[in-house]
Chain A
Amino acid sequence: MPQFNPEWFASQIFWLIVTFVGLYLIMSRVALPRMAQIMEERQDKIEDDLAKAEKLRQEAEEVYQSYEQQLAEARQQAQKMLKDASDQLDKEQRERHEAFSKELDQKIDEAEQRIDSAKQQALDNLQSVAGEVAQQASAKLLGEQVAKDKADAAVKDAMKRTQEGGQA
C-alpha cells in the first residue's frame, strides 16, 4: 500500500502542518471572529427586540388595566346615579301622594260641613213651613186661630219625637 511507503512521510507531514497552520490562522484570526461577531450582533438584536416587545406588552397591559378600572368605576357611578334617581322619584311620589290625600281629606271635610249646614238649613225651613201648615190646618179644622209660637213649639216637639223615634 502506498500509505506505508516512508518515502513520502516527511512531505505529507510537512504539508499537513503548513496547510493546517494556515487554515488555523485564517480561521482564528479572521473567519471565526467575524462569524462570532455576526452571531453576537444578531443575538443582541433579538434580545433587544424581545425586550422592546415585552415593554410594549406591559404598556398595553397597563392601558388595558386602567381601561378596565375606568369601566368599573363608570359602571359603579352609573349604578349609583340610577339608584339616586330612583330614590328621589320614590320620595317625590310619596310626598305628592301625601299632599294629595291631605288635600282630599280637607275637601271631604269641607263638603261634609256644607252638607251638614245645608241639611240644618233645610230642617229649619221645614220646621217653619210645618209650623205655618200646622197653624193653618188647625184653624181650618178647629176654626180658631192657634198662636204662632204654640204651633211652632208643637211642630218642634213632634219633629223631635220623630227624630228620636227614627233614631231609636
Chain B
Amino acid sequence: MAEQTSTNGGDGGGGFGLHPMEQFELSPIVPIQIGDLNLSFTNSSLWMVIAVAIISALMMLPTRGRALIPGRAQAAAEMLYEVVANMLRDSAGKEGRQYFPFVFCLFSFLLIGNLQGLIPGSFTFTSHIVVTFALAAVVFLGTTAIGFARHGIGFLKFFAPEGAPSWSLPLLVLIELISYLSRPVSLALRLFANMLVGHALLKTLAGFVFVLGIAGVIPLAGLVAITALEVLIAILQAYVFAILSCIYLNDALHMH
C-alpha cells in the first residue's frame, strides 16, 4: 500500500499533492555504512540531535547564574525538573530517586521530540515505531533487571497474585505474564500510533486546504484546531510514557 500511494503522490505531485505519509520518510544526510549496517545520519538523527540540544539549552543556559530567585527561563527549567521529580516520587517512592536522571531524559526527550514534530517541515522521530519500541524495550528490560536485582528469584512472585485460590494459579500466572510482556508493546505502540495518526491527519487536512481553494478555510480552521489538540497530545503522550515507566519501576522496586 505504501508503494502504491507513494507513486500516486509522486504522479500527482504538481506541488499540492503531498502525500500524508511522505513526512515519515527517512533520508540520509551523511551516509555512513559500516559493514552490512547502514548507520547513516538521517533527518531523524538530525532532529534527535536538535532535541538533545534544545533540552540541554533549556536546562543549562538559564541555570548558569544559579539564581536563588529564578527568572522566567530558570522557572521553566525548574518546572520541568519538578514535574518529573514529583511524577517519580508519587509513583515509585523514595527508592526511585536514583533512576531520576533516566526518567527525566526519557520524558524530556519524548516531550521535545513530540513538540518539535509539530513545526512544519520538521521530522517527528517519535512517530517511528523502531524508536519508541527501543525506548520501551530499555524501560522493560531495565525494570525487569531491577526487579530481579532487588528481589532475586522472588520477583517471580510478582506473577502470582497473593490470596488467589491455588487451582486458579496457572491461569493467573499466564494472564499476569502476558500482561507483563505486553507492556513494552503497548508502551511503544501508544506513542507511535498517536504521533503517526496525528501527523497524518494534519497533513491530509493541509492537502485539502490547497485543493479546495477559497473553501479551503474550512479545513484550515480544522487544521488550527487539530494542531492545538496535537500540542496537547504531544505533551500528554510524553507524560503517559514517562509515568507508565515510573509505575513499572515501582512494580520492580516494591512488587505492587
Which A residues form the contact surface with B (CB < 8 A)?
Answer: 1-5, 7-20, 22-24, 26-28, 30-32, 34-35, 37-39, 41-42, 45
Cβ–Cβ contact A3 & B42, under 8 A:
no
A11-B40, A35-B63 in contact; A23/B25 too (CB < 8 A)? no
In the complex, the 5 A-B pairs of residues with the closest C-beta atoms, listed nearest first? A15-B45, A28-B101, A31-B59, A19-B48, A2-B24
A27-B59, A32-B101, A42-B68 in contact; A3/B39 too (CB < 8 A)? no
Interface size on B, residues (CB 8 A): 49
CB distance from A37 to the nearest CB of B (A): 7
Cβ–Cβ contact A3 & B128, under 8 A:
yes
Cβ–Cβ contact B24 & A27, under 8 A:
no
- Chain B contacts for A23, CB-based, 8 A: 51-52, 55-56, 105, 108-109
Residue of A nearest to B28 (CB): A11
Which B residues form the contact surface with A (CB < 8 A)?
Answer: 2, 21, 24-26, 28, 32, 37-42, 44-45, 48-49, 51-52, 55-56, 59-60, 63, 66-68, 70, 74, 77-78, 81, 100-102, 104-105, 108-109, 125, 127-131, 134-135, 192, 196
How far apart are the CA atoms of A14 and B102 in the complex, in Å? 18
A1-B21, A3-B192, A16-B48 in contact; A41/B42 too (CB < 8 A)? no
CB distance from B197 to the nearest CB of A (A): 12
Query: Main secondary structure on chain A at its contact with chain B?
Result: helix
Cβ–Cβ contact B60 & A8, under 8 A:
no
A15: contacting residue among B37, B44, B77, B127, CB under 8 A: B44
- Chain B contacts for A2, CB-based, 8 A: 2, 21, 24-26
- Chain B contacts for A31, CB-based, 8 A: 56, 59-60, 63
How far apart are the CA atoms of A35 and B65 in the complex, in Å? 11
A8: contacting residue among B21, B38, B109, CB under 8 A: B38
